[in-house]
Amino acid sequence: MTSEEAKRLLQAYADGELDPAASLEIEAALAASPELRAALGRIRAMSAAIREKADYHEAPAKLAARVRSSIPRQTSLPRRKRSWQLVGAFAGLVALAVIPFLIRPGSADRVAEELLASHGRATVGQRMIDVASSDLHTVKPWLSARLPYSPPVADLAAAGFPLAGGRVDYIGGKPVAVLVYTRRKHTVEVFVWPAEGGAARTLARFGLNLESFAAGEMRYWLVSDLGADELRELARLLGQSQAAATS
């Protein structure tokens, strides 16, 4: 199966609509392609967001009449075929009526969705950390050797946020550094990549807090179930460390 074929079947795979043979082919393609894994993560994150957050509206009373009037009167068709024709037409009209309410411009931040998908993959796949070390002089060179940039890595153990390690993941189809800090029994993922400026952001999604800011030509995104105030404190410390490193 080619990458393009796998891309076309990702939605069906996510919905559990493929037969076992096709599912195995998709899973082999996913194992070999970070880009496909990221795309699948976005699909699953969007599906979860729709199930949890979307507004649902009852179809108008005139919809059934519109469905009936749109079906050609072909009495020669077998009864079962006419029934499936009715179902297909109804599904199409319901989609046209409902989709505008589900997909609202600006209702979901794409970067946040990808970060949440990355968090989900790392949690489910038990791959939160690729290089396990509290030593920034171990973590930073490991990441730098696998990325087209050298990510800033801060030792914040004295402030109560010890470094646990890091990994490389993909956001927007590009490899990015993920630093992993801990706070008591909580884990904080710090995604960092080169980016200029941009406003700070604070979000909450699916029981997770997200904090974002820019410092020293780097964009930081923090993702954790840690309380918002403590996550903001870690963001402040990271910003201070980056400012000191570039001053």
Radius of gyration in angstroms for the set of CA atoms belonging to the chain, rounded to a whole number? 23
On the question of pLDDT at 155 being above 90, the answer is yes
Distances (CA, A) of 106 to 47, 81, 88, 109: 16, 41, 30, 7
Q: Give the pLDDT of residue 68.
A: 65
On the question of pLDDT at 232 being above 90, the answer is yes
Q: Give the pLDDT of residue 194.
A: 92
pTM of the model: 0.58
Contact 191, 115 (CB under 8 A): yes
On the question of pLDDT at 71 being above 80, the answer is no
**Whole-number Å distance between alpha carbons of 128 and 140:** 16
118, two tokens: 């990355």
Give the pLDDT band (50/70/90) at residue 83. Answer: very low
Higher pLDDT, 133 or 105: 133
User: Among the listed ranges 23-37, 49-63, 141-155, 215-229, which one has the minimum average pLDDT value?
Assistant: 49-63
For residue 151, the 8-state DSSP code is -
* Helix, strand counts (H, E) of the chain: 8, 7
> Residue written as tokens 């493929």?
18
Q: Give the pLDDT of residue 75.
A: 47
User: Can you say whether the dihedral through the CA atoms of 140, 141, 142, 144 is positive or negative?
Assistant: positive
Higher pLDDT, 115 or 102: 115
Nearest-CA neighbor of 13 among 1, 27, 3?
A: 27
On the question of pLDDT at 187 being above 90, the answer is yes
User: Among the listed ranges 10-14, 96-100, 137-141, 203-207, which one has the minimum average pLDDT value?
Assistant: 96-100
Mean pLDDT of all residues in the chain? 78
Contact 161, 181 (CB under 8 A): yes
216 CA to centre of own chain: 25
Q: Which helix (H) or strand (E) element contains residue 37?
A: helix 34-53
Residue 191: phi, psi to the nearest 5?
-85, 130
- Read off the pLDDT of each residue in 79-103 and give the average, rounded to a whole number: 43
Residue 8 amino acid letter: R
Higher pLDDT, 98 or 192: 192
Q: Which fold has domain 110-246?
A: Phosphorylase Kinase; domain 1 (3.30.200)
Domain extents in the chain: 1-108, 110-246
